[in-house]
Chains A and B, each alone.
Chain A
Amino acid sequence: MRRNVADRSAVRRGVLGRTALGRTALGRAVRAGALVATVALGAGCSLVGGSGGSDAGGERKVVLVTHNSFSPPKELLEDFQKRTGVKLEVRASGDGGALTNQLVLTKSNPIGDVAFGVDSTFASRALDEGVFQPYRAAEGDRGPQRYAPQGGQDRLTAVDVGDVCLNVDTGWFQQRGVAEPKTLDDLTQPQYKDLLVAEDPATSSPGLAFLLATVAKYGENGYADYWTRLRGNGLKVTSGWEEAYNQDFSAGTGGKGQRPIVVSYASSPAFTIGDDGKPRTKALLDTCYRQVEYAGVLANAKNVDDARKVVDFLVSPEFQAKVAESMYVYPAREGVTLPEAWQRAAPLPERSAELPADQVKAGRERWVEQWRKTVRG
């Protein structure tokens, strides 16, 4: 591909193993190994020299730090480079929580210039630690700022909204002539016994959002009782979304699960549309919790000017039009058309619960601990 052959052979000569072993002894075994090595190298197996060359050259570059759910179409990133003349390099690792904590740890010498993906659960922490510097996106008032965190309006710009809601398998309820549940209270009713699967709030992001939804609804004093009742009604708990949705949910991707109610995202039903054009699942819009993802310029960024351009780019109509399909979330900007499947199966919830960021920060650990005692004790 765009590998530099000369580079590679230079590296090949310098590779530790070959020279060190070569000098001490080159027995038949090592020769055999060397043969394999040469064959493998010849086939382009080494990483060294593969992509290293692409950083070279005097082109301007801005680095976006994000989580590993960020996967916009490549053309869009190239488009940014065409318009601004700046190469956008993406560095991603871990989930939203890992991202926030990495940013906090590296705030004095950040690994990039701009960050995307700190969500409303973690925003308070990032703001308190001084991870971001002030910047308001040029088009922030076209919608994004209505989701901005309290006290962080000057530093964080909302890019997308990804609500967590209960999803139900509509076919399951139809077949059995049971009415679908509508509210959180319904789940404690006997007709919904043994039907719900939810994720552990300690290890799963939708699990945490759902716990927050119950705190928002029942208050700090009442949510534990609610979970006691859920437990009594045959709640099943998994560590991650993968097991809950793919394995336990009756309309999930595996299709073999036993439970028709699952904690997932408002957007999930858009991915269950069958050949007949009808979704097999539905999100219960009265059970949702709002999760917002933000972007901001990092406090000690080396390239502040271009970092600002990236924030602007993330709320631009072009980028916003793609967030639904590529990241499974809703655009924060107003007036962006959702994909057709989403309009039919996964409209944006309008009455999602929310808790102020600082209340989440103060209570989160305690609530999760209480949850563990209540559900797992």
Chain B
Amino acid sequence: MAQDGARLSRPGAGRVRPAGRARLAGLALAGAAALPLGFLAVFFAWPVAAIVGIGLRSTERGPSVLALLTSAETWSLVGFTLGQAVAATALALLAGMPVAFLMARCAVPLRGLVRLLVTLPFVLPTVVVGMAFRTLFAGSDDGSVLAIVLANGFFNVAVVARTVGGLWAHTDRRAEDAARALGASRWRAFTSVVLPSLTPAITSAAAVVFLFCSTSFGVVLVLGAARYRTLETEIYLRTVQLLDLRGAAALSLLQLAAVVAALALGARARRRRETALRLRRAAETVRRPQGGEWGVVALAAGVVALLMVPIVGLVVRSLSTVDGWSLVGYRALLGSGQNDTLGGVSGLAAAVNSLRTAFDATLLAMALGVLASVALSRLPRRSPRFAHAMDVALMLPLGVSAVTVGFGYLVTMDALPGDFRTSPLLVPFAQALVATPLVVRTVLPVLRAVDDRLRQAAATLGAGPFRVWREVDLPMVGRAVLAAAGFAYVVALGEFGATSFLARPDAPTLPVAVGRLISRPGELNNQMAYAACALLMALTAAVVLLVERARVAEVGEF
């Protein structure tokens, strides 16, 4: 048996199929890995390396790289950056877990609504959220670390709830019930049965949230009020304002090192935990909460209510003017702002731009992300080192400053045919860079949890590798794939950093338009900016609903 297992665990190796099939499978796997890695190399690694290289070679006056890397100020920047990111990640995890439980396990009314509501914060432009939190913390004039951590947590509860909830909905309930029957307390059953099986999703979510928080820009800028700075804000300052590319390069390297270290740690923790799980239909794992579970549901409801505070504030703000309640902001969306702030582009046109760009980005992110997930789920048996490196590499775009990538495009993309620097395609490409890691982190845990014996059984029965994938893997991860598509779309919709840098003036996305409107005087511009935020949330809600619909109607769950 053991021998058989070892043989069969290498797809194709021990089958009655011709050797050509196995080679084909190997080739397909290589292709699946090469495509996302190639994209990453051209649209991420090359530009970043180029701009960092220019910085390191620069002979401008100013402190040397070494002096910068060893200065106490730099290290306090690193400390604050990591510290606030860790705190915000912990917060997002603590707040997201009850919500994930509610979404995955509880047959309670309004569950769909909760799924919808927690996604809304994710698309809001950071400047606007920063300003919303600023009014909530009006007392602290001098910038507030608490506000920064809360705002970063606010953005990311959705990541935790969705990533963890996705796996949780499909983990078998029976082991837990058995533990309870054997006398374990609810808490004991949770910590020794549920939590270990969820660990891959939890560490995945934590890694993503950590990266988002450590590169958070708008929030830190607005809420830090010139007092609190992070590596990200400092890189922006040096690149954009001072053109101190050497300083920016040194800090970028530091940022990269910190991110790689954190990711490697996370990946290690994850690997130790990843095992095949008995995945079930979501419908089988849901039931009415019992006893103490109601407490968790209440907690989740509390989290959702708190998340709604800034959102309701924004909506109220979009409706209230100095002269009382009014819809002028919404009517203004038909035009291009007071004094034509958006240069002939109406708010609605910006919304259409957003939808189209996000659509392209999603297609691309899904193609790359699913291919990468398939490769990552199969590679460890063939070349574990490579798989680990690839896993970390795919996440990097989340951990590197948008400004670095944007300026990198300027100095590299003219080498591509047709001077790609000014191509309208750069926007969806950059958005796909951000969305792909989320697709991987949503799909991969489920893919890895698929019991390999099912694949082996199918192979033994004569199915080729593609057939195995189609009949075993795909039905199981179908739901995760759709969830990932919805999430990727939402991420692309809300992406601000790279988009604001790359979007053409005649084709701003909605978040970019909000940024422009809010930085101009004029009551109407302000009103329109908040109305545009409300529109953005409405669009997000529509997308999430559409995906949920498609899920129920089309996908036969396992």
Contacts and interface: CB of A to CB of B under 8 A. Distances in A.
Nearest to A33: B485
B386 interface: no
A33 B550 contact: yes
A25 B243 contact: no
A239 interface: yes
A16 B367 contact: yes
A201 B474 CA distance: 54
Most buried by B among A26, A104, A125, A271: A271
Interface stretch (A90-98, A182-190, A290-298): A90-98
A48 B432 CA distance: 14
Contact of A48 (B352, B353, B425, B500): B425
B311 interface: no
Nearest to A280: B322
A32 B550 CA distance: 6
B240 A241 contact: no
A306 interface: no
Interface in B521-558: 521-523, 525-526, 546-547, 550-551, 553-556
Interface in A50-87: 50-52, 63, 66, 68, 70-74
A328 interface: yes
A98 B409 CA distance: 14
A138 interface: no
Contacts of A365: 62, 242, 244
Contacts of B89: none
Contacts of A240: 127, 221-222, 519
A377 B88 CA distance: 26
B367 A21 contact: yes
Contacts of A92: 504-505
Contacts of B555: 28-29, 32
Contact of B478 (A27, A45, A70): A27
Interface in B480-505: 481-482, 485, 500-505
Contact of A202 (B130, B241, B478, B485): B241
A177 interface: no
A47 B506 contact: no
Contact of B364 (A17, A25, A264): A17
A254 B189 CA distance: 51
Contacts of B504: 91-92
Contacts of B428: 47
Contacts of B554: 28-29, 31-32, 35
B550 A109 contact: no
B470 A25 contact: yes
**A-side interface size class:** 35 or more
Contacts of B380: none
B243 A203 contact: no
B35 interface: yes
B481 A30 contact: yes
B341 interface: yes
Interface stretch (B90-98, B101-109, B178-186, B416-424): B416-424
Contacts of A41: 359
| Residue among B356, B368, B556 with the highest chain A CB neighbour number at 10 A | B356
B445 interface: no
B226 interface: yes
A336 interface: no
Contacts of B222: 238-240, 242-243
B144 interface: no
Contacts of B422: 63, 91, 111
**A-B interface, 8 closest residue pairs, ranked by CB to CB distance from nearest:** A29-B478, A32-B554, A71-B343, A200-B226, A17-B367, A27-B474, A25-B470, A74-B344
8 contacts: A29-B481, A66-B505, A71-B340, A90-B505, A236-B141, A242-B519, A243-B225, A253-B521
Given A27-B474, A106-B410, A247-B131, 5 more contacts: A93-B502, A111-B422, A267-B521, A325-B339, A325-B340
